[in-house]
Amino acid sequence: MFRLFAELLEYPGPGVREAAQECEALVAQEDSEAAALFARFRAFVENTPRHRVEEVYSATFDLDASCHPYVGYHLFGETYKRSVFLLELKQRYEPAGLDVGRELPDHLALVLRFAGAQTDPAALGELVHKALLPALDRMTGRARSAGYDEDESPRPEPGAAAHAPYRALLDALRLVLQRVPVAPSPAVIES
pLDDT at 184: 64
Give the pLDDT of residue 182: 87
Question: Domains of the chain: which residue ranges?
Answer: 2-147+157-190
| Cα distances (Å, whole numbers) of residue 171 to 33, 94, 114, 133, 142 | 10, 29, 20, 10, 10
Q: List per-residue pLDDT tens for the chain, 191 residues long.
A: 999 999 999 999 999 999 999 999 999 998 999 999 999 999 999 999 999 999 999 999 999 889 999 999 999 999 999 999 999 999 999 998 998 989 999 999 999 999 999 999 999 999 999 999 999 999 998 875 433 333 444 444 444 555 689 999 999 999 999 999 986 655 444 43
Give me the architecture of the 2-147+157-190 domain, per CATH.
Orthogonal Bundle (1.10)
Beta bridge partners of 107: 70
**Separation of alpha carbons 132 and 144, rounded Å:** 16
pTM (two decimals): 0.85
Asked whether the beta carbons of 155 and 141 are under 8 A apart, the reply is yes
